[in-house]
Structure 1
Amino acid sequence: MHLSGLLTLQLIAHLMADFFFQTDRLAKEKNQLGFQCPFLKWHALIVFLLSWILSFQLTFAGGALIIAITHFLMDGFKKYLNQSKLFGKYAFFIDQGFHFLVIILVVFFFGRYFEIQSILPLRLPIKGLLIILAFLICLKPANIFIKEVFRAFEIPVPDNDDLPNAGKLIGVLERVLVLTFILLGQFQAVGFLIAAKSILRYKNDDTLKTEYVLIGTMLSFGIALLAAVLLSLERLVGLYFV
């Protein structure tokens, strides 16, 4: 396994721990209570276990511990970051940026001072790992990212009688479809999907709701396209993390 594979695996571990192994209720409770949240220590344990297990290396235990401890500290202090008048609405982006930076630094220094040797006799192609990472990004993380963008730019969410969580499901489906079509080289299908949604969703007299849907759709498709671009970075990642 090259360093690029280890980095991708650690990013996958982070997404799983921070988005898929905690509910929205627990995440909200953690943001409000900080170090006083009972779930925080369990969250840090999940971060450690996923980071260590997905490294496929016994020697990465120390690196996983550093990632988990810094994750614990950042999530604990995020309560005060959320309360900041200046940085509160950007707390999510600051938090995630900090986590990603720590992961990159830990993987980089681990590669310099330790030999990367998987405990499993399996070859993990970087292209396959990047595909997994791209699809994970298009699921729950993208929904939360879009919500936080609306919050950061203070864009009001219009009241409507739509089915609960229907918008989230639509967003997930369209991103997965766009990414799948791009991987298959079916770019015409991507254009057809955009056109079809514009016909179905934009024909609305409510300007606020129309603009809300338009922004959400552009963000959603943009995330899917950036995830597809991520797959084209295979060679670039390999150059810097080998």
Structure 2
Amino acid sequence: MNATQFFILQLIAHMLADFYFQNDRLAEQKNTHGFRSPFLKWHILIVFVLSWGLSFQLSFVYGALVIALTHYIIDGLKVYLNRSKWLGKYAFFIDQVLHLGVIIAVTVAYVLYLGLDPYWEVKWSSTLLMAIFAYITCLKPSNIFIKEVLRAYEISVPGTNDLPNAGKLIGVMERVLVLTFILMGEFQAVGFLIAAKSILRFKNDDIIKAEYVLTGTLISFGIAILLGSFVGLAY
């Protein structure tokens, strides 16, 4: 295992712990109650287990412990950030940047000062690990990211809440397709998919709703294209 593989595995561990091993209700409980949230302790245990387990390094137990404890502090204090008049709408992004910063600092320190255990090998290539990370990110995390971007910029359609789950599913499918097309080198198919969606979704005279859908669509496609580009860099 090299340093790149080790770092990607830690990113995968973070995505799984922060987005897949908790539902919206539990996440809202943490955001509302902070350190008093009953779920927070379980969440931190999940963070620790995934971080240590996916490191494939017995000696990384201390690094995983640092990541878990700082995660506990950041999530516990997030309730105060949510209540801030100026920073509240950016709480999600600040939270994720802090988590990412800790992961980078801990993994770099571990690799530089302790070194990776040569007896533990990951047979998967960096490209495959990056592709796994990209597909994991394309699903639930991207839906949440898009929702938070729209909320931060106060973009919404007044008086409507039609088919929210269908919109999420469409977004997931389009990102998976775009990412797959990029990895296959079928860039013309990406353009065809964008054109097809514009025809299907914008055949109405509601400018506000059209702009709302267009914003979400551009963010969605942008995420998939960036992720595909990152996978390409790992080749």
TM-score, structure 2 as length reference: 0.96
Aligned-residue offset at 1:2: 0.8
2:42 aligned with 1:10: no
2:138 aligned with 1:138: yes
Task: Specify whether residues 190 and 75 from structure 1 end up closer, same or farther in structure 2 by C-alpha distance, changes over 3 A only.
Answer: same
* Alignment partner, residue 168 of structure 1: 168
Aligned-residue offset at 1:205: 1.3
CA–CA distance in 1 between the matches of 2:195 and 2:118? 46
2:87 aligned with 1:77: no
Aligned-residue offset at 1:119: 5.4
* Alignment partner, residue 238 of structure 1: none
* Alignment partner, residue 63 of structure 1: 63
Cα deviation code 1:32-58 (max 9, x no counterpart): 110110000000000000000000110
Comparing 145-154 with 159-168, which one deviates more in the overlay?
159-168
Aligned-residue offset at 1:214: 0.4
2:89 aligned with 1:89: yes
What is the number of residues matched between the two proteins? 235
- Segments ≥4 residues shifted beyond 6 Å: none
The answer to whether the 8 Å contact 1:56/1:118 transfers is no
CA–CA distance in 2 between the matches of 1:20 and 1:45? 14
The answer to whether the 8 Å contact 1:81/1:91 transfers is yes
- Structure 2: 5+ residue stretches without partners: none
In the alignment, residue 101 of structure 1 is paired with which amino acid? G
Comparing 203-212 with 38-47, which one deviates more in the overlay?
203-212
Task: Specify whether residues 207 and 46 from structure 1 end up closer, same or farther in structure 2 by C-alpha distance, changes over 3 A only.
Answer: same
Cα deviation code 1:167-192 (max 9, x no counterpart): 00000000000000011111111111
User: Which fold has the larger relative contact order, with Cα–Cα distance below 8 Å and residues 6 or more apart in sequence?
Assistant: 1
Identity percentage of aligned residues: 61
CA–CA distance in 2 between the matches of 1:193 and 1:215? 16
In the alignment, residue 110 of structure 1 is paired with which amino acid? Y
TM-score, structure 1 as length reference: 0.94
* Alignment partner, residue 147 of structure 1: 147
* Alignment partner, residue 201 of structure 1: 201
Task: Specify whether residues 43 and 118 from structure 1 end up closer, same or farther in structure 2 by C-alpha distance, changes over 3 A only.
Answer: farther
The answer to whether the 8 Å contact 1:58/1:119 transfers is no
Aligned-residue offset at 1:82: 0.4
RMSD between superposed Cα atoms in Å: 1.3
